[in-house]
Amino acid sequence: MDNLKVLDLFAGGGGFSTGFLAAKHSNINYELAGALEVDPDACLTLISHHGEDKVIDGDITDPIKKEEVIKRCSNVDVIIGGPPCQTFSLAGPARSGKKEIREKLREDPRNMLYSHFFDLVGKIKPSFVVFENVEGMASKKAESTDLSNKQRAVIDLVCEDLKDLGYNTEVTPTVETGLAAEYQVLNSADYGVPQYRRRIIIIANRIGIANPIPEKTHGDGRRPHLTVKDAIGHLPVRLPKINPHGIPHLKNMNVILDNYKKSLKLFKDAINETVKEDPAFNSFLKWFNRECRRLSTVKENHFDELKKFFLIYNMKLEEVEQTFIDLPSSTSHTSRMHNFRDIIIFILTKPGSNSARFINKNRKEDYSKLLSDLYPYARDKHKDTYVKHSWDKPSYTILAHMEKDGLKFIHPEQPRTYTPYEASLIQSFPGDFTFSGGRNAQYRQIGNAVPPKMAEAIGNSILNALHENNTDLLINETYERV
């Protein structure tokens, strides 16, 4: 059997296709026929890994671009993709905020991008379709187009669209329930990804075989789930730069002033503990400890003194970073800049805890008066703004929101949030996988990606199903596209 050709729609930085290309069964592999993506930075990432001839740069809603996709990828066997559906997300802004914002999000045209996905499926007619989306899609309602004029679950409409195109969406009945279903909810941690990430997966085919369930490799009596430490515990230390500007206007900085010496000591001790075994920081530490001692004796103009200190701290840190040769230069294992208030919050928060706990007096094991006083956000809305991960568990879901801030992704030991490189490893990208664009563009690509290890399990399940059904001929030749 020849390689199976894959078309990746909404390809992003290439997580889905990276996983499929890693899948294989006997002598059968996948081959990328094309990847459609609209984001320029993600396109550059795809080009760097697959070549310019495989990447189609453009908007799926553009009829001209659709025709280009059909022309270049008319004989693919599998179409994969996860159309962005912003308000379906359980963590999305549609669940909070002002009413007008929620209504605007509900009307967001991006929520209908999946219809363009199926338009291409209907015209190309691949043998398999793999559709990925956030778990919130299962509870999202949409106005029905039939005469009943009732709301229907979006996921039901998606499955009906596939069936109307001639695809079987039914999943083989599971041993656990004995029931058939039309979609699956997979947790990436069960497939060797060091991250809890639940996603809806629809595997559908038009060649008359049962749709497979990807076989779990971790958890529930199998190999233990991989942890944050498994993913990034081996990486060299990175310290954060500190924003020296606007210190007097930073919310709750009066709490820092009221606890000035304590805050300085917390910062000094945390930095020393973080880099004590790294000789690259020896010279930096001598200067740092001397300056911290001096600052602790300052009686007035604290904000001005802190600003001058942070400016020099950042320059000293840049000098250290110039000596880093421990990773390929193309990787982005440097911390984003943080403000001093947040760094104190990072230090004081216990691994595995979050701001919803440390502001709650009833959570005695987590509550901290200093942390509660420092917390700068409205307590009647987003109480879990800060989340500190722990070494001994999988990470929480990596999100594209990391491009805006990383406060839900505080490193277990180091006083900062995850670097792009750490986020990519937690997403299960290969260690030598590189992303184009600046730091925020990289966070966006990484957070939006399908974890490659989970994608690989999905790809393998299709190959195994073909093998078990003795489908020995190239499927796009065996089943006429009618």
Separation between Cα atoms, residue 217 and residue 215, nearest integer Å: 6
What is the mean predicted confidence (pLDDT) over 179-186?
81
Single-letter code of the amino acid located at 213: I
pLDDT digits (tens, 9 = 90+) for 249-298: 999 999 999 999 999 999 999 999 999 989 999 999 999 999 999 999 99
Separation between Cα atoms, residue 283 and residue 172, nearest integer Å: 62
Q: Is the pLDDT of residue 359 over 50?
A: yes
Positions marked catalytic: 85
pLDDT digits (tens, 9 = 90+) for 224-258: 999 999 999 999 999 999 999 999 999 999 999 99
Contact 111, 178 (CB under 8 A): no
pLDDT digits (tens, 9 = 90+) for 185-221: 999 999 999 999 999 999 999 999 999 999 999 999 9
3-class DSSP string for the chain = CCCEEEEEECCCCCHHHHHHHHCEECCEEEEEEEEEECCHHHHHHHHHHHCHHHEEECCCCCHHHHHHHHHHCCCCCEEEECCCCHHHCCCCHHHCCCHHHHHHHHCCHHHHHHHHHHHHHHHHCCCEEEEEEEHHHHCCEEECCCCCCCEEEHHHHHHHHHHHCCCECCECCCCCCCCCECCEEEEHHHHCCCECCEEEEEEEECCCCCECCCCCCECCCCECCCCHHHHHCCCCCCCCCECCCCHHHCCCHHHHHHCHHHHHHHHHHHHHHHHCCCHHHHHHHHHHHHHHHHHHCCCCCHHHHHHHHHHHHHHHHHHHHCCCCCCCCCCCCCCCCECHHHHHHHHHCCCCCEHHHHCCCCCCCCCCHHHHHHCCCCCCCCCCCCEECCCCCCECCCCHHHHCCCCCCECCCCCCECCHHHHHHHCCCCCCCCCCCCHHHHHHHHHHCCCHHHHHHHHHHHHHHHHHCCCCCCHHHHCCCC
Per-residue confidence band for 435, with pLDDT thresholds at 50, 70 and 90: very high
pLDDT digits (tens, 9 = 90+) for 33-67: 999 999 999 999 999 999 999 999 999 999 999 99
Q: What pTM was computed for the model?
A: 0.90
Per-residue confidence band for 478, with pLDDT thresholds at 50, 70 and 90: very low
Question: What per-residue confidence (pLDDT) applies to 351?
Answer: 97
Query: Over pLDDT 90: what percentage of the chain?
Result: 75
What is the mean predicted confidence (pLDDT) over 398-427?
96
Single-letter code of the amino acid located at 214: P
The structural architecture, per CATH, of the domain 4-226+448-478 is: 3-Layer(aba) Sandwich (3.40)
Question: What per-residue confidence (pLDDT) applies to 181?
Answer: 80
What does the domain layout of the chain look like in residue ranges? 4-226+448-478, 236-326+335-418
pLDDT digits (tens, 9 = 90+) for 128-147: 999 999 887 776 655 544 44
Q: How far is CA 82 from the centre of its chain?
A: 13
Per-residue confidence band for 482, with pLDDT thresholds at 50, 70 and 90: low
Instruction: Using DSSP bridges, classify how beta strands 78-81 and 128-134 pair: parallel, antiparallel or unpaired.
Output: parallel
